[in-house]
Chains A and B, each alone.
Chain A
Amino acid sequence: DGGITQSPKYLFRKEGQNVTLSCEQNLNHDAMYWYRQDPGQGLRLIYYSQIVNDFQKGDIAEGYSVSREKKESFPLTVTSAQKNPTAFYLCASRAPYSGNTIYFGEGSWLTVV
């Protein structure tokens, strides 16, 4: 089935460590996104990529990094510079010619211990 796969679903990180969240899609979408969700704050855009080998910062990019070497993949690295990384992270992609319809993966929980 086509879709967006995020892994791992749950991840624990020690303070000072970098971690990478995986996002893979087989929908042939050009645009991909990473959002962060905190209770009561909705979703906030971290990074987005409109095409392979290109990406832009969103509203809360500090302490995060991404790469877009393949159309199917858009991994997110949460670095030790991110002061409050515990959150639910959602990857998404946009269907072309769809009225800006964005589809989401199932999310990844990151907890700093």
Chain B
Amino acid sequence: AQSVTQLGSHVSVSEGALVLLRCNYSSSVPPYLFWYVQYPNQGLQLLLKYTSAATLVKGINGFEAEFKKSETSFHLTKPSAHMSDAAEYFCAVSDPPGGTSYGKLTFGQGTILTVHP
């Protein structure tokens, strides 16, 4: 079974500081990995995804994530935080095509990012 662990339910940074949100996964097959962002009372918006191509993935709003197989990690980073980045962030995993869980996402618990002026 797949699982995702997001380390830290709350992360607080100052505006302009580095953002680092941690995600570790467990999967019996090479995974597809995703980061989504959710603003209050809204649905989830895809930030970026890893689908077995380049291990460093760039997404929207200046975010990027690096797939590290040896560490089973897919941490999300942004060099300089902006007030508009304050939201909840979710890491998710699925099987690749042909896998039994392809088409379904398993989510982590979420990390709430607060940005201080």
Chain A residues near B (Cβ < 8 Å): 4, 31, 33, 35, 40-45, 48, 50, 58, 90, 92, 94, 99-107, 109
Given contacts A42-B108, A43-B90, A92-B44, 18 further A-B contacts (CB under 8 A): A31-B103, A40-B9, A42-B4, A42-B110, A43-B44, A45-B106, A92-B43, A99-B51, A100-B32, A100-B49, A100-B105, A101-B34, A103-B46, A104-B43, A104-B44, A105-B43, A106-B42, A109-B41
Question: Which residues of A have CB within 8 Å of B96?
Answer: 100
Contact partner of A107 (CB less than 8 A), chosen from B42, B49, B51, is B42
- Residue in A closest to B50 when the chains form the complex, CB atoms: A99
Cross-chain contact B110 with A90 (CB below 8 angstroms)? no
In the bound complex, residues from chain A placing their C-beta under 8 Å from that of B90 are 42-43
B6-63 CB contacts (< 8 Å) to partner A = 9, 32, 34, 36, 41-46, 49, 51
Give B76 Cβ to nearest chain A Cβ, in Å: 15
Question: Complex Cα distance A101/B32, Å?
Answer: 10
Interface residues of B in 78-110 (CB under 8 A from A): 90, 94, 96-97, 102-110
Check B110–A40 contact: CB distance below 8 A: yes
Q: Which residues of B contact A31 (CB under 8 A)?
A: 103
Which residues on the B side are within 8 Å of A101 (C-beta)? 34, 46, 49
Q: What's the minimum C-beta distance from A35 to chain B, rounded to whole angstroms? A: 8
Give the chain B neighbours of A104 by CB distance below 8 A.
36, 43-45
Kindly name the residue among A43, A99, A100, A104 whose own CB sees the greatest number of chain B CB atoms within 10 A.
A100
- 18 A-B pairs with CB atoms under 8 Å apart are A35-B107, A42-B107, A43-B44, A43-B105, A43-B107, A44-B107, A45-B105, A48-B103, A90-B43, A92-B44, A100-B32, A100-B94, A100-B103, A101-B34, A101-B46, A102-B46, A104-B43, A106-B43
Chain B: which residue is nearest A56 at the CB level? B104
Instruction: List B contacts of A4 (CB < 8 A).
Output: 43
Q: Residues of B contacting A40 with CB < 8 Å? A: 9, 109-110
Q: Which of A33, A104, A106 has the most chain B CB atoms inside 10 A of its CB? A: A104
Most B C-beta atoms less than 10 A away, residue of A40, A43, A58, A103: A43
How far apart are A85's CB and chain B's nearest CB, in angstroms?
A: 18
